[in-house]
Amino acid sequence: MITLDSSSAWQSARRMVAANRDVLVAIAGVFFLLPGLIGAVVLPTPDVNGKMDQQALADAVLQFYVHAGPVLVALTLPMLVGYLTLLAMLLDRDRPTVATAIMTGIRLLPSYLAAQLLISLGLSVLWATALSVLSLAMPQVAAALLSLVAMIYPLVRVLLVGPEMIAQRLRNPIRAIIGGLARTRGHTLGMLLFFGPAMTLFLVVYGVVMIVVSLAVFNLAQAEVQRLISEAAGAVLLAVGYTYYAAMTASTYDQLGPINGADEAVSPPAPR
């Protein structure tokens, strides 16, 4: 049985990024960094302060998402295209050009959105069911926390739906979900030990860098300038994080089985 080697998968992800560095930087800049910078400029800031009670804070956050929702959706779509484009560059055995990879991402975006919608609905039902069952045996707060922890398992199981869709050239979201679930069967713990520490490390680095940037711009006169600089730094970090996340999912998918029926693993394609 194939097993996931976290160390090998990480080294493979690093090689993928290194071998395609120039192309990946360009794709990340257009599809991840640029939407992040645009969002920093056009998105309003939530009207919150430390004196608000819990209800007022919840209302303020809700109002923010109501007004900013269309902009957030518009900025999220290119990021999803960028993620699919990166996967196409890293997993497609035909070694596509950047333009071809972008077209693949655009063409599969509706199917990927449909798959994510189905996954979200399924996870919502699972979480509501788990919460209801646990609430019968323990306090509401404890049930909520435990049910969220329990959702880690199904979340890990669906991490490879995007790579499955790209590598197998699937437009049917249900087939992509089934294939992604089959690919991760028996590997949940290994994937959790691979992605969990990496995401934790990213969050720590992100937090430290944002604190340093905030301290560095603290003496600037205009609060809006401080915010824009901080948002720009955050956008750069997220672009790097998204790029490595795509490489990690691609290397994991590569390691857990052959692509398109081939018996050999996929090597990182050389950019054209």
Question: What token pair was written down for 132?
Answer: 């209801």
**Lowest mean pLDDT segment, chosen from 9-13, 137-141, 256-260:** 256-260
> How deeply is 177 buried, as exposed, middle or buried, from its count of CB atoms within 10 A (0-12, 13-18, 19+)?
buried
Provide the Cα torsion 168, 156, 19, 272; round to 10°. 30
In the numeric block, the tokens 């089985």 are attached to 257
More confident residue, 94 or 166: 166
**Lowest mean pLDDT segment, chosen from 51-65, 75-89, 178-192:** 51-65
Return the pLDDT at 186. 87
Asked if residue 214 lies in contact with residue 234, where contact means CB atoms within 8 angstroms, the answer is no
Give the residue from 258, 266, 251, 270 showing the smallest Cα distance to 6: 251
In this predicted model, what pLDDT tens digit does every residue of 14-37 receive, in sequence order?
998 998 888 999 999 999 999 988
- At 231, give phi and psi (nearest 5°): -65, -40
Question: What token pair was written down for 105?
Answer: 């991402």
d(CA 117, CA 21): 32
Helical spans, DSSP H, in 136-222: 140-150, 152-157, 161-167, 173-184, 188-216
d(CA 152, CA 155): 5
Contacts 24+ apart (CB under 8 A), 226-231: 227/40, 227/45, 228/40, 228/41, 231/36, 231/37, 231/39, 231/40
SS3 content of the chain, % helix, strand, coil (to 5): 75, 0, 25
Return the pLDDT at 266. 39
Task: Calculate mean pLDDT across residues 165-186.
Answer: 92
Asked if residue 86 lies in contact with residue 78, where contact means CB atoms within 8 angstroms, the answer is no
Q: Confidence class of residue 1 from pLDDT cuts 50, 70 and 90?
A: low
Query: What distance separates the 2 farthest-apart alpha carbons in the chain?
Result: 62
Instruction: Please determine, for residue 157, whether its predicted confidence score (pLDDT) is greater than 80.
Output: yes
pLDDT over 70, % of the chain: 89
Task: Calculate mean pLDDT across residues 240-250.
Answer: 94
Residue 181 to residues 4, 81, 177: CA-CA distances in angstroms? 15, 22, 6
- At 20, give phi and psi (nearest 5°): -120, 30
d(CA 87, CA 83): 6
More confident residue, 73 or 265: 73
Question: What token pair was written down for 228?
Answer: 């824009």
Average pLDDT, the chain: 85
pTM, two decimals, is 0.85
Residue 131 to residues 85, 117, 142, 148, 184: CA-CA distances in angstroms? 37, 21, 10, 8, 25
